[in-house]
Amino acid sequence: MPLRIIQAGIGGHGRTWLTLLQRESADGDAIELVAVADPSEWARTVAAEDGIPATQIFATLDEALRFVEADAVLVVTPPATHRAVATAALEAGKHVLIEKPLATTIEDARALADLASERGLTLMVSQNYRHQAPVRALRRLLDSGGDYGVPVTIEITFMKDSRAMWPADNFRYAMDHPLLLDMSIHHLDMLRAITGRNATSIAVESWRVLDSPYEGDVALAALIRLEGDLPVVYRGNWASVGPQTTWNGDWRILTDRGRLAWVGWAGQDHEDQLTWEAFDCRAKPQVLRQEPLAQGGFAGSLHAFVEAVTTGTDPETSAVDNLHSLAMLFAGVASAERGGSVAIG
């Protein structure tokens, strides 16, 4: 029997999820989209235009839960609503797949993780950036028993111009820390996935970009220390007018044996290329082979969720695991607002 899913939230990334769930519902027997819910009349009209029957479109999740039989809820609502929406789903006995960030405070995130544990339900965060071949390959390379050495320093650079990317009333423009809270969570979570280490401290300097509609700090520079005293320099600007990186950012990992790089500037055909340059002036950089993934991105997250629910196992990005990524994120916000390095533990 397929996993019956209600999607809460249709705007923004919700449209991407809606298309994916419709395709998966039509193509296989693992997933069935049984309803969508959104308070926006525009969003409900979009769902109808996309082929969702009127009997499966609701203004609230509570209505959908009352009238439709479901096993799980996909939460794609604005971050400030995550705790309330996910709580309603969990209290109704439904498994939950939720878009990042899990919550807007660490207290709310812990409360959701505790509630899911108490109810014996799966609560998984869709950290879809983990479901990419380069991320999996870098993790394997650093776990390969010494062939590529031990990381000494890591540098991550992310530059994107999103000034006109969203509608004028988009919630991101009003956030105090839009880059950190809505985008950097991807990079910080990938950092944990690639290195297998959690952060012990973070120091952030952040600032506004005056010729952008963002009211909050949309650019930053950070020094992060991971377990084992591994330093990471992270630079980001979501209103950058210079050369653009991909959404993954530009990664350079110095080890005690050489340099690993995942560098892909937007529009170039090698944006997913990994290279290795050993400490030998005569050696040429090598392009490293990557194993293709059966499912990547959003589809990778969705299938990991279905597998976790159907097998009763903890997903890689469970709420409990995601607390470590959020701890780094919220410590970064505290550092940006108060100054200095903030310990994480």
- Give the pLDDT score at 299: 94
Q: Which two tokens stand for residue 203?
A: 């120091």
| One domain for residues 168 and 235 | yes
Domain boundary among 121, 147, 182: 121
* pTM given for the model: 0.91
180 SS3 class: helix
- Give the pLDDT score at 242: 87
What residue spans of 28-121 are helical by DSSP H?
Answer: 41-49, 61-67, 82-91, 106-119
- Give the pLDDT score at 271: 62
Q: Is residue 137 in some structural domain?
A: yes
| One domain for residues 106 and 146 | no
Q: Is residue 58 in some structural domain?
A: yes
Structural domain span for residue 27: 3-121
List, in order, residues 6 or more apart from 69 with CB less than 8 Å away: 4, 34
* 8 A C-beta contact, residue 112 and residue 319: yes
Q: Is residue 302 in some structural domain?
A: no
List, in order, residues 6 or more apart from 268 with CB less than 8 Å away: none
230-280: pLDDT as tens digits: 999 999 999 999 889 999 999 999 999 999 999 865 455 556 789 999 987
298-336: pLDDT as tens digits: 999 999 999 999 999 999 999 999 999 999 999 999 999
Q: What is the mean pLDDT of residues 209-231?
A: 97
| One domain for residues 49 and 197 | no
6-64: pLDDT as tens digits: 999 998 788 899 999 999 999 878 999 999 999 999 999 999 999 999 999 999 999 99
How does residue 144 score in pLDDT terms, banded at 50, 70 and 90?
low
* 8 A C-beta contact, residue 165 and residue 173: no
| One domain for residues 63 and 7 | yes
175-196: pLDDT as tens digits: 999 999 889 999 999 999 999 9
Q: How many domains does the chain have?
A: 2
- Give the pLDDT score at 270: 53
Identify the CATH number of the domain in which residue 83 sits. 3.40.50.720
| One domain for residues 140 and 225 | yes
108-128: pLDDT as tens digits: 999 999 999 999 999 999 999
Identify the CATH number of the domain in which residue 235 sits. 3.30.360.10
Average pLDDT, the chain: 93
50-104: pLDDT as tens digits: 999 999 999 999 999 999 999 999 999 988 999 999 999 999 999 999 999 999 9
| One domain for residues 227 and 88 | no
Q: Give the distance between the most distant pair of CA atoms in the chain.
A: 69
| One domain for residues 244 and 266 | yes
Lowest-pLDDT range of 49-53, 166-170, 215-219:
166-170
Helix (H) or strand (E) holding 281: none
d(CA 271, CA 134): 10
Q: Which two tokens stand for residue 297?
A: 């991105």
CA torsion through residues 157, 158, 161, 163, sign: negative
